[in-house]
Amino acid sequence: MTFYSEHSKVWVSVDVIIFGFDEGKLKVLIGRRQMDPGRGEWSLYGGFVAADEGIDDCAARTLQSLTGLHNLYMRQVGAFGSIDRDPGERVISIAYYALINVKDYDEQLRQEHQVEWVDINSLPELYSDHNKMVRQALRQMQQKMHTEPIGFRLLPQLFTLTQLQHLYEAVSGQEIDKRNFRKRIKDMDFIEKTELIDKLTSKRGAALYRFNKRAYNEDPNFKL
């Protein structure tokens, strides 16, 4: 027996906004669209939901296919379904954003997928409503970073306080007072100072820190 035959069918896809932090800049992974319509236009990476998978599974599969990385931080942004958003068919897209450490992303894989890291403040015009997706994802990430330490997903395991401050400045788009920032960091037991020194990015040699997930889970009262 066939159900819902009186209703028109629509396509469902996912699009993934992948954020990275590099050279003091918040960046987004984009590439030239490899299919019609819109072939050659700058675009986010995405795919259509298969008949045998849920939308979260599709997003995870799409993200893993592009990055080769597992267990990444990923959250749903929302649904985008304007009637004319895709000139090919009636397509509703569910957007997700993910956070990765740029240095963990294999350069050869990036080249195979023909994608590039682009400064979020210099994004070109993207296909369809993808710029809108990026803006909405950024707003959600900004809100989340004030209440959860998700920013450490964008950093290497060992980082300097200057790197951490630059990350929060890049995400918020605002300068942060160095003294106040470091005072707040000092009060957070889950940001541990190590005995290691960074001599690559700091001439004087800056102390390296790390995020202690166990300490955070014991006292998750984070607010920055």
Report which DSSP code applies to 159.
B
Tokens of 82: 């304007």
The pTM of this model reads: 0.92
Q: Which amino acid is at 27?
A: K
What integer pLDDT is reported at residue 179 of this predicted model? Answer: 94
Q: Which H or E element spans position 75?
A: strand 73-80
Ramachandran angles phi, psi of 222, nearest 5°: -95, 135
What integer pLDDT is reported at residue 146 of this predicted model? Answer: 87
What integer pLDDT is reported at residue 188 of this predicted model? Answer: 86
Side-chain half-sphere CA neighbours of 51 within 13 A: 0
Q: How far apart are CA 161 and CA 215, in angstroms?
A: 18
What integer pLDDT is reported at residue 183 of this predicted model? Answer: 92
Residues in the chain: 224
What integer pLDDT is reported at residue 152 of this predicted model? Answer: 94
Side-chain half-sphere CA neighbours of 35 within 13 A: 8
What integer pLDDT is reported at residue 145 of this predicted model? Answer: 92
Tens digit of pLDDT at every position of the chain (224 positions): 789 989 988 999 999 999 999 999 999 999 999 999 999 999 999 999 999 999 999 999 999 999 999 889 999 999 999 999 999 899 999 999 999 999 999 989 999 999 999 999 999 999 999 999 999 999 999 999 988 999 999 999 999 999 999 999 999 999 999 999 999 888 888 899 999 898 776 667 789 999 998 888 876 666 66
